[in-house]
Amino acid sequence: MAEMTTDVLIIGTGPAGSSTAALLASYGIETMIVNQYRWLANTPRAHITNQRTMEVLRDLGPDVESEAYLHATEQDLMGENVFCESLAGEEIGRMKSWGTHPNSRAEHQLSSPSHMNDLPQTFMEPILFTTACKRGAQARMSTQYVSHVQDAEGVTTTLLDRLSGRKFEVRSKYLIGADGGNSLVAEHITTPIEGKMGVGGSMNIYFKADLSKYVAHRPSVLYWVMQPGADVGGIGMGLVRMIRPWNEWLIVWGYDINEPAPKVDEAFATNVARQLVGDPDLNIELISASVWTVNDAYATHMQKDRVFIMGDAAHRHPPSNGLGSNTSIQDGFNLAWKLAMVLKGQAGASLLDSYSAERAPIAKQIVTRANQSIAEFGPIFEALGMTGGSDVKQIKASMDARCDPGDAAVAQREALRKAIAFKNYEFDAHGVEMNQRYASNAIVTAGQPEPAFNKDKELHYHPTTWPGARLPHAWVFDGNTGEKVSTLDLCGKGAFTILTGIGGEAWRDAAQTLAQQVGIQLNVHIIGPRQTYVDHSGDWARICEIADDGCLLVRPDHHVAWRAPVISKDPKSDLFEVLQQVLGRN
Ligand code: FDA
């Protein structure tokens, strides 16, 4: 007999586990979350927080969203991505990134009520974790996952209490492995993982030093230092990353994965910092140092019966594009409402199959993109002449040559400008962040063809209400108070929502009857003049892709489940059939 029981046991309190626990607790589900360590992340690994992730925090509530903004470095301070010989030395090039280019900023503002920001993991995790605990999740620290067995009714998991050294069992209906890139849960469900682990070695040097005089005039999150003949590492490029402007930093530096990982002590760290900052007298206050490996691997399936994996357990990749924590939180947003509805008896267990069907393709996509982004530094190295061997004098001469007159230097300067601009696929890839479209049994396209992307789909977000896509954002206005509200705010919070317009009252009536019949919460909003929400600007009408009397059925995770372009002959039976399919009740 297991000593403890819960509905969902989550292994890991990282962004994946904590966000899922927060969502499940908000939906009223009994949850237990464990972490093998005594507290949350102690290094600020993830930081770039994209709009889609902020929409998840917004869905968790204004308290959660506003706390995140309170601790985050705002978007305006994120964007002058600098390439230089050292922070004190010559600047080689610069690009506006993370939505700070005016064109990109407009696209960001049009596509979401939420803002991109820089929120180190040491701030994000406590926000998510305390939300989970405050809302009812049971948390146990210093508790290590050991193994599990599952049967038709549930999962029995063996945990080790690291304080007493005692093993104990927890019986749950479902188990989630959110236990990071070396996931034991993923190993135990023998999920297929494609790709390679350990393709590169990196070290983090986390320190305090006031570097304002080198950076405050060109505020950025990332300063890329291209140094020929650097005597540490070996990749010829180091990253100085802002944690807090401008006195807390993280240096990311490579090491040869075929050699033993270096021991990073105070002297070593100070030497690297002095070299990259370009100040031989710099003193740093070392907070911590750690080594990690670059991975290029993803799970092709993220579930075995009652056990799921999410976050880095399922997608393991370098930090490029800042996708790790973001995707982990978005995995949680996809799975939590499904578990909640199945546990409440509102949906059939087959709804859970849609998790892997929808998120495994995203895992592959983001792992591929993140690794490709590393390779796409190549043209910058080439343009600077840093690829032809390790002769320091030769490299320095090639880099200097770009300042010469003459055709060769003209071509070199042009190649460098192009190579830096091309890095928008890493540093301004709004489409990668926002264009996720799902295909599964929990989406009913009813034969409506997927709209083609009319711009580069990695760089630009393409709003559409095609079933499977995220509901587009538009500001509409509260008919009573006049306050603006995002269309996304009308949806989510664990419930299905119907959006329609004047003439679509039959959808509302059908929804009210069906909500009772099917036993789910089904919110309805009619958007139009003298309705609860008014589309004064016409923005919603321009992007909703349905007639006023059409209907959008939106899932709790903001993705469109089904769309009726116009009123149907029998709204009630159409809606009933769709809900039966989406909820796996057929
Ligand atoms: P994560 O590894 O964070 O958490 C795993 C949890 O499981 C931990 O609580 C751990 O203690 C626990 N655990 C593991 N094994 C256990 C066991 N057997 N028993 C109990 N508990 C166990 N991402 C991003 O979105 N934007 C960014 O800008 C960056 N930047 C960035 C920079 C650097 C330098 C790095 C190294 C990484 C990033 N990332 C990132 C990636 C990001 O840090 C990463 O993707 C997330 O932390 C993954 O979150 P998870 O919750 O999946 O795992």
Q: φ and ψ at 379, to 5 degrees?
A: -60, -30
332 lines ligand 1 (CB under 6 A): no
Residue 406 backbone class (left: φ over 0; alpha: ψ -120 to 50; beta: rest): left
Tell me how far the alpha carbon of residue 384 lies from the centroid of ligand 1, in angstroms: 34
Same-domain pairing of 348 and 415: no
The span from the CA of 229 to the CA of 167, in Å, is: 52
In 3D space, the residue among 171, 139, 136 whose CA is nearest the CA of residue 34 turns out to be 139
- Domain total for the chain? 3
Site of tokens 């900023």: 105
pLDDT averaged over consecutive 10-residue blocks of the chain (586 residues)? Answer: 93 99 98 98 96 98 98 97 96 98 98 98 98 98 98 98 98 98 97 92 94 98 84 66 98 85 90 94 96 93 98 96 97 99 98 98 98 93 86 89 97 98 98 98 98 97 98 98 98 98 98 95 98 98 98 98 98 98 95
Same-domain pairing of 347 and 407: no
In 3D space, the residue among 557, 516, 494 whose CA is nearest the CA of residue 29 turns out to be 494
Atom 46 of ligand 1 has which residue's CA nearest to it?
325
Same-domain pairing of 415 and 352: no
Atom of ligand 1 nearest to the CA of 185: 18
Q: Examine residue 106 and state whether it is found in any structural domain, yes or no.
A: no
Q: Examine residue 279 and state whether it is found in any structural domain, yes or no.
A: no
Same-domain pairing of 509 and 571: yes
Atom of ligand 1 nearest to the CA of 118: 28
Q: What angle do CA 115, 356, 309 make, to 5 degrees?
A: 80
* pTM above threshold 0.95: yes
CATH code, 451? 3.40.30.120
Q: Examine residue 352 and state whether it is found in any structural domain, yes or no.
A: yes
Q: What is the pLDDT of residue 389?
A: 75
Atom of ligand 1 nearest to the CA of 183: 15
Q: Examine residue 27 and state whether it is found in any structural domain, yes or no.
A: yes
Lateral strand order in the sheet of 91-96? 91-96, 80-84, 222-226, 237-244, 248-255, 193-208, 285-299, 315-316
Q: What is the pLDDT of residue 239?
A: 94
Q: Examine residue 575 and state whether it is found in any structural domain, yes or no.
A: yes
The span from the CA of 449 to the CA of 297, in Å, is: 31
37 lines ligand 1 (CB under 6 A): yes
Same-domain pairing of 66 and 172: yes
179 lines ligand 1 (CB under 6 A): yes
String of DSSP letters for 238-257: EEEEEEETTTEEEEEEEE-T
Cα–Cα distances in Å, from 144 out to 20, 35, 513? 18, 6, 47
DSSP 8-state class, residue 534: E
Give every CB contact of residue 246 below 8 A, 6+ residues apart in sequence.
Answer: 210, 211, 212, 215, 216
Residue 218 backbone class (left: φ over 0; alpha: ψ -120 to 50; beta: rest): beta
Site of tokens 């540490």: 232
Q: Which of 391, 422, 453 is the last residue of a domain?
A: 422
Same-domain pairing of 384 and 515: no
Atom 43 of ligand 1 has which residue's CA nearest to it?
46
Same-domain pairing of 337 and 448: no
State CA 463 to chain mean position distance.
19
Same-domain pairing of 417 and 484: no
Q: Examine residue 336 and state whether it is found in any structural domain, yes or no.
A: yes
DSSP 8-state class, residue 387: S
Give every CB contact of residue 160 below 8 A, 6+ residues apart in sequence.
Answer: 143, 144, 146, 166, 167
Tell me how far the alpha carbon of residue 179 lies from the centroid of ligand 1, in angstroms: 8
Contact (CB, 8 A) for 401 and 412 = yes
CATH code, 138? 3.50.50.60
Tell me how far the alpha carbon of residue 328 lies from the centroid of ligand 1, in angstroms: 9
String of DSSP letters for 98-156: TT-SHHHHHHHHHH-SS--EE--HHHHHHHHHHHHHHTT-EEESSEEEEEEEE-SS-EE
Same-domain pairing of 504 and 557: yes
Same-domain pairing of 49 and 126: yes
* Domain residue limits at 416: 378-422
In 3D space, the residue among 246, 321, 294 whose CA is nearest the CA of residue 47 turns out to be 321
Q: What is the pLDDT of residue 200?
A: 84
The span from the CA of 339 to the CA of 178, in Å, is: 15
Q: Examine residue 343 and state whether it is found in any structural domain, yes or no.
A: yes
Same-domain pairing of 473 and 555: yes
Contact (CB, 8 A) for 132 and 18 = yes
Atom of ligand 1 nearest to the CA of 323: 25
Tell me how far the alpha carbon of residue 72 lies from the centroid of ligand 1, in angstroms: 19
100 lines ligand 1 (CB under 6 A): no
Q: What is the CA radius of gyration of the chain?
A: 25
Q: Examine residue 108 and state whether it is found in any structural domain, yes or no.
A: no
Same-domain pairing of 165 and 23: yes
Q: What is the pLDDT of residue 472?
A: 98
Tell me how far the alpha carbon of residue 43 lies from the centroid of ligand 1, in angstroms: 10
Q: What is the pLDDT of residue 230?
A: 57
For residue 246, whether the previous peptide bond is cis, meaning omega lies within 30 degrees of 0, is yes
Taken as a whole, the chain contains a residue count of 586
The span from the CA of 260 to the CA of 249, in Å, is: 25
Listed in sequence order, the DSSP H helices in 196-310 are 212-215, 266-277
295 lines ligand 1 (CB under 6 A): no
